Chains A and B, each alone.
Chain A
Amino acid sequence: MIEVKDLKKGFDGKPVINGVSAIFQTGKCNLIIGSSGSGKTVLMKCLVGLFEPDSGDISYGGKDFTSMNEEDRKILRQQIGMLFQGSALFDSMTVEQNIMFPLDMFTDDSFTNKLSRVNEVLDRVNLKEVNNKFPAEISGGMKKRVGIARAIVLNPRYLFCDEPNSGLDPQTSILIDKLIKEITTEYNITTVVNTHDMNSVMETGDHIIYMYDGLKEWEGSNKEIIFSKNKKLNDFIFASEFLQDAKDMRQLEMKGKIENNHNHG
């Protein structure tokens, strides 16, 4: 579990996050959504320690991350995996070397064991025969999957995904969402996803935080979001007529299910 208390962060005197508190639960896909400039990327970067917050606390499993010294942070960071927006794979390394890198750096395993672990995670993200390919030789969707494989190779307790669907076609996006969701449940890890993708919100959002202008505007699940009366949230999520119609249909469908349950009960 990751807990954030009254987090504030600004740049050049301009506040970007203005006192956000939240709890990211273990075994669930915790989504941070919001329009561009709402502070979600800054919030995620504060969570993983790439930005130092101006004030507030972040704790990982009860351990205060903000006041941790560099050595303790290093140890904690080995339990964190992150999938970046652009995948951030090392250009000069093959797929296999990219995934093996954290194992090389932090374990003393034999090459055979490390290779077997690499193949195991590649298999987990449904990638085959790409071991010797360079990042430039694979597609965007494959890069994301390699990024996920690298993030989970050390069996992390926390997984962060920064816009995992950006630049992907809808079908590949669904595959990536499904993969993140499955990995979260399978390894019982705390997953935090920063996304714009409405399909991800509806399909994987066990716990959603909507950011608006540096503040947490709304919090709930993908089921609750359908019935939310928050205007800012509705304007953001169901921005088009098509999405508004889809929302109405889903509302009717869910109400029907509830009524059915009552009748059967």
Chain B
Amino acid sequence: MFSKPENLKMYWKELMHQCVEIGIRSLGIVIIISVFMGAVSALQTAYQLVSPLIPLSTIAQIVRDTVILEFSPTLVCIVLAGVVGSKIAGELGNMRVSEQIDALEIMGINTKTYLILPKILAAMITIPMLVIISAVLGILGGKLASVATGIVSTSQFDKGLFQYFKPFNVLFALVKSYCFAFIISSISSFYGYYVNGGALEIGRASTKSVVVSCVLILLMDYVLSSLLL
């Protein structure tokens, strides 16, 4: 499927371009989702912890683990499947329909290597980074919401944040994000690259790639959780 690049400089340029497209251009939505996800998670945890026997610092602990283990890798990747996945499928679909892929083929370029490989690599590089940023922002959002609403004090939140912290959870989140990044980029590339028809089919391919990616992410989430936790 993939072959030796015709010109490494051009492939590097394309990889960097894709890193910007997939990573930097998704940063805004990731920041918004993460902060609110952490904040809501803190408020809902506090709402459910009614027993006076449970210390308030537990809220921070729950927010931390939920954000690192599930929300940041899975929820953010599901959103990215929509944002990045539909963009990749749409871009490749448009290139296919408007014969731009054929033009590259005729020039003697392996279009799968030139168009798909940089997208997969860029997703594998940037999505785990986005997940880490999301986890940090999620916890900060949780802290902001809990402190601002007076549920816990800053010191109580910080105490809970460092209590019983397992570094393995971060590793688990990274493993998940690598798997999800591969699913998002490869599924959307597949549906985009093999579009046949016109504008309607491009739209269908984008939707299908998002749906299939989301289902596979959830399935992989379950498999990885049962294997690694």
Contacts and interface: CB of A to CB of B under 8 A. Distances in A.
Nearest to B11: A105
Which A-B residue pairs are the 10 nearest by beta carbons? Answer: A77-B108, A88-B99, A74-B108, A88-B103, A84-B99, A82-B106, A78-B108, A105-B7, A88-B100, A48-B106
Contact of A73 (B7, B94, B98, B108): B108
Contacts of B102: 50, 84, 88
A70 B112 CA distance: 14
Nearest to A147: B103
Contact of A86 (B7, B99, B105): B99
A105 B107 contact: yes
Contacts of B98: 86, 88, 91
B103 A104 contact: no
B224 interface: no
B104 to A, nearest CB: 9
A80 interface: yes
A90 interface: yes
A102 B106 contact: no
A95 to B, nearest CB: 15
B-side interface size class: 10 to 19
Contacts, number: 54
Interface string A80-109: 101011101111000000000110111000
Contacts of A74: 6, 108, 110
B226 interface: no
Nearest to A74: B108
Given A50-B102, A88-B98, A102 B3 contact: no
B106 A77 contact: yes
A75 B108 contact: yes
Contacts of A106: 6-7, 107-108
Chain A CB count within 10 A is highest, among B102, B107, B109, for: B107
B10 interface: yes
A91 B100 CA distance: 9
A262 B196 CA distance: 58
Interface in B1-58: 3, 6-7, 9-10
Interface string B88-126: 000000100011101101111110000000000000000
B5 to A, nearest CB: 10
A78 B3 CA distance: 17
Contacts of B105: 49-50, 77
Contacts of B7: 104-106
Nearest to A81: B106
A54 B158 CA distance: 70
A86 B108 CA distance: 20
B205 to A, nearest CB: 17
Contact of B10 (A70, A78, A104): A104
Nearest to A77: B108
Nearest to A160: B106
A224 to B, nearest CB: 31
A102 B98 CA distance: 18
B4 to A, nearest CB: 9
